[in-house]
Every structure is written in C-alpha cells, then in structure tokens.
Amino acid sequence: MTTETANLVALVLGGISVLVAIFAIWVQIYLSRMMNKHIEKEDERAKNLIKETQRMIEEMARKTDEGNERLERFIKEGNERLERFIEETQRIIEEGNKRLERFIKEGNERLERFIKEGNERLERFIEEAQRIYRGG
C-alpha cells in the first residue's frame, strides 16, 4: 500500500468516523427529545392524577361535612324531641301527682266523714244502750 492509498484510507476512515460520531450525536439528541416528550407526558399524566385525587379528596371532605351537618341536625332534633318528651313526662307526672293528692285528700275527707258519722252513731248507740240499761 502506498502512502497515498494509506492517506486516502485514513481520510475515508476519518470521514466515516466523523459520520458515525455525527450519527451518534443525532441519535443521542433524538433519544433525548423522545425521552423529554415521554417525561412531559408522564408529568402531565401525574399532574392530572394529582388534580383528580385532590378533586376526589375535596368531594369526600364536602360529603363528610354534609354528613356531619346532617348528623348534628339529627342529634339536635333528637335532643329537642327528648327534651319535649321529658317535659311532657314531667307534666304528666305532675298532673298525676295532683290528681293523686286530690284523690287522697277526697279519700281522707270521706274517711273523716265516715269516722265522724261512725263515731256519732256509736255515741248514739252507747247513749241508747245506757238508757236501755238504766231502765229507760
């Protein structure tokens, strides 16, 4: 091989090396761009997933708040009903006690009247018995 041929081969090989290096740089740039696009898509997908998750959390918090409000309302209504029931029960007991006191009072008055009448009859009977016993 002559020097010219060796130079020519070296030049061709050098040119091929430059072309291979340019191709390698181009492939690296292309793959980098593709990776960046893929990363951007994944970032967008992750952002959308985060937004959807936040929306779901906000919706659950809203529903929880609504449920708590309903529960508080239910408890308040239950307490009000219980208070009315207790008041009504106390009123009924008080009325019953008044009636009972009236019945006891009336019963005592009747009993006193019966005892008084019984005592009067007994006194008349004793007087009559003494008069009969004395002869007359």
- Per-residue pLDDT reduced to its tens digit, 106-135: 999 999 999 999 999 999 988 888 888 887
Q: What are the Cα distances from residue 53, in Å, to 4, 48, 50, 57, 68?
A: 71, 8, 5, 6, 22
**Is the whole model's pTM more than 0.75, yes or no?**
no
Give the whole-angstrom CA distance, residue 129 versus residue 1: 179
pLDDT at res. 6: 87
- The whole-number average pLDDT for the span 33-59 is 95
Per-residue pLDDT of 93-110, as tens digits, reads 999 999 999 999 999 999
pLDDT at res. 136: 54
